[in-house]
Structure 1
Amino acid sequence: MESRRTKVLIVDSTTEKHFPQPDIEREILAGHDVRLVHISNINEIPTEFLPEIEFMIIWACIPSIQFNQAFLSNLSRCRAIVKAAVGYDNVDIDAARQLGIAVYNIPDYGTEEVADHTLALLLGVARKLNDINLHVRQGGWDWASVKKIVSLAR
């Protein structure tokens, strides 16, 4: 007797592909049917296999792609949606709840990277790195204008 394969749909955007193939997901979910679609519009998801989907992972972070009640109602077997991001503002939570679909997010996704980036930008502004970079790219070099960078290295 063959065991039934769980159907998992992974949705990513065509404009900002997070991964071309879900290799890690397929490895973790070995033995299950994992499908990946790249979309720029919710209507690009083939509707013929939506009733079979049991779990959905959303990588698409484009606000214009709305997983609304009309779309979610096609997921008659879906038990959970995971939004691979901090927020889930493009998923109709109320509609999902009414349909018995649990919705999860990853609340600490990218927090360290955001903090690092914020500090790097603050340091760049404080040391006028963009101005100095532009000046050097235009062929200039004014030692007096880079005193703050020299003091940073000491």
Structure 2
Amino acid sequence: MANQRVLVTSWIVPEDDPSLEVLRAAGIEIVMARRQAAHTEDEMVELLKGISGVVAGSDRYSEKVFASTRELKVISRVGVGYDAIDVKAATEHGVAITTTPGTNQDAVADHALALILAVARRIVDFDRFMRAGDWNRPTPADVYRQTLGILGLGRIGKGVARRGRGFDMRVIAYDPFWDDEFARANQVERVGLDDVFRQADFISLHLPSSAETLRIVNAERLALMKPTAYLINTARGTLIDEDALYDALVSNRIAGAGLDVTSEEPLPASSELWDAPNLFLSPHCSGRSKQTTALATGIFRDNLARYLAGQPLTNLVDMKAGF
């Protein structure tokens, strides 16, 4: 393993992380290129020269990137999502992809609930009013005993459902792969996709990014929402037609939205979303916490030990199935 070079772009893995010390002790050179914004394709092509492994953030790995290097053997994604990676191209170029599943679902579910409370109770607005010396007290919305609609009842969606039940909310959900046992145990009602938009007071998105889910929240579905309803997205920015969301907010067609993710990140200064009313934003940080970082780096550290020992890696992305 000596003379190999590993690139670190993941923001959550510090330079002195014990996982990297393991690699250094084995004679592997660590190349640090950490930053919060994702690197571009051209930047990745340059960074990957002479690199055999990557501790990856949310950088884009396209056919162009994979074709530029023969040394790259493994991408270890410190996180769960890998939609920025062209899995087909990785397969064709013999590059393994690993993730750290089961580490951030509680943090994301917490953040989704925090956004629900922030938009409904107008927490950020009230803070801004107070700091401006304005004793302005517009009437906020209720959360308790309202209807929570969830798109995607996977690990995170289930966590949001449990939290919603803690607020005695009626929880409805749409998921093509329905977990009936969980739904019965947690009083989650199964409804159709459009019915979530028609019935919910708060809609929380927890679907993966795919061709099928691209802009699944479009103008037609936003038009189904109650004018008092709110949209929450802690999943992927590509789930929402952002032009349609902007129009819905400006026209007061819906009451508001809370976004932790956008289709382009960081959100460009030119985006019209900055001017949208009743919109609360956070910088794709919902999966971040001290606990999730420790869990993710623990899984990553185990895979490093396997890599150094020449053993099979765990949590490999299924290249044929795409998950």
Alignment correspondent of 2:41: 42
State which of 69, 72, 75 in structure 1 corresponds to 2:63. Answer: 69
Report how far residue 136 of structure 1 moved: 3.0
Aligned partners of 1:48, 1:140: CA distance in 2, in Å? 50
Report how far residue 72 of structure 1 moved: 0.8
Aligned partners of 1:48, 1:110: CA distance in 2, in Å? 28
- Residue identity (%): 25
Kindly indicate whether residue 109 of structure 2 is the aligned counterpart of residue 111 of structure 1.
Answer: no
Residues 1:53 and 1:91: Cα distance change in structure 2 (over 3 Å): same
Alignment correspondent of 2:5: 7
Alignment correspondent of 1:151: none
Residues 1:119 and 1:75: Cα distance change in structure 2 (over 3 Å): same
State the Cα deviation string for residues 59-81 of structure 1 (Å, max 9, x = none). Answer: 1x2xxx53112221233132211
CA contact (8 A) 1:86 1:105 kept: yes
Map of 1:121-136 to 2, 5 A cutoff?
121-136=115-130
Aligned partners of 2:45, 2:7: CA distance in 1, in Å? 11
Aligned partners of 1:22, 1:101: CA distance in 2, in Å? 24
Residues 1:100 and 1:28: Cα distance change in structure 2 (over 3 Å): same
TM-score scaled to structure 2, two decimals? 0.35
Aligned partners of 1:135, 1:100: CA distance in 2, in Å? 55
Kindly indicate whether residue 84 of structure 2 is the aligned counterpart of residue 90 of structure 1.
Answer: yes
For 2:43, give the aligned amino acid.
E
Q: Give me the CA root mean square deviation.
A: 3.4
Q: Which runs of 5+ in 1 are unaligned?
A: 13-17, 149-154
Report how far residue 42 of structure 1 moved: 2.5
Greater gyration radius? 1
Report the number of matched residues: 135
Alignment correspondent of 2:232: none
Aligned partners of 1:70, 1:132: CA distance in 2, in Å? 48
Q: Which runs of 5+ in 2 are unaligned?
A: 143-323
For 1:82, give the aligned amino acid.
S
Which segments of structure 1 move beyond 6 Å, counting only runs of 4 or more?
Answer: none
Residues 1:84 and 1:70: Cα distance change in structure 2 (over 3 Å): same
**Aligned-partner SS, 2:54:** strand
Aligned partners of 1:10, 1:67: CA distance in 2, in Å? 14
Alignment correspondent of 1:23: 16
Structure number with the bigger relative contact order (C-alpha 8 A, sep ≥ 6) is 1
